[in-house]
Amino acid sequence: MVKMNGETLMTDAAAFVVMSGAYLQLLKKKSRRRSRRRWWMVSLNQSRERYSGTHLMADLLKEPSGRFENFCRMSFEDFEELLQKIEPVISKKDIRWRKAIPGKERLALTLRFLGSGDSFKSLHYLFKISAQLISSIVPEVCSALIKVLSNVIQIPSNESEWKNIAKQFENIWNFPHCIGSMDGKHITIQAPINSGSEFYNYKQYFSVVLMALVDADYNFIFADCGCQGRLSDGAVFRNTELFKKIENNGLHCPSDEPLPGRNIPIPYLFVGDDAFGLCKQIMKPYPGLH
């Protein structure tokens, strides 16, 4: 048996008191953390039963002034058609203690975010869905849109399809031999970490560039997004697959033919603004007022 003197006992007793106090403090902190998590959802979100995104869309449809189109950036008919295609992919099942967000609300929320750029916090107040859940819904729906609609935007693959577009331009815009109109659009973003001024554009905000080619009815036939906002439309275009295929004659564009009432063959061409450089298959208007 080990004998302990009075000084050792005092030291051990003091250590025990200190450790006990630290342990009690730790228990209090854990108890305090647990007490903060009292509810499954905040009181604002609990009001979803009374008024949710589904009720909001129903109210918008009652308005005769195009409020639904302004909110979702598309007509109700187009929304329903898109919902039929995507709902099986984005819908979730109800669980025992919580109902799933309907596919209609998931799509409307995502369209509102894409069309307006509203923050997740703003959408949280609008749809009564937590910002944390919104941050997972938006990427899921975007991925589903890409998966379901991947065949909707397709660049023509043969001369006949290009000539159909040229015929549209001639009939609608009185512009023969045009097979597409191109332009770029700056999409506002938050500057990526450590990116400096790489995404800072001449309009004095951070962006990526959407480069698109459309037919005579404004239907997209090519789109490229992601280039840094500091680049001009012309520089962005030169980095796209479309430009490479134009350079390598890989688009299967129609052979040169005379314009109506003329004898000299000229190429079929794309039209762009002053940011694009001229070449055999790219035309742009004369600059300035005429």
Residue ranges per domain, the chain? 43-148, 159-283
What band does 5 get if pLDDT is binned at 50, 70 and 90?
low
Query: What percent of the chain is helix, strand and coil (3-state, nearest 5)?
Result: 45, 15, 40
At 122-142, the pLDDT tens digits run 888 888 888 899 999 999 999
Strands (E), 88-219: 178-188, 207-214
Of residues 261 and 213, more confidence is placed in 213
pLDDT of the residue at 213:
94
CA distances from 283 to 229, 238, 278 (A): 24, 15, 6
pLDDT in tens, 263-275: 999 999 999 988 8
156-191 pLDDT, tens digit each: 989 999 999 999 999 999 999 999 999 989 988 888
Q: For residue 214, which of 206, 205, 223 has the smallest C-alpha distance?
A: 223
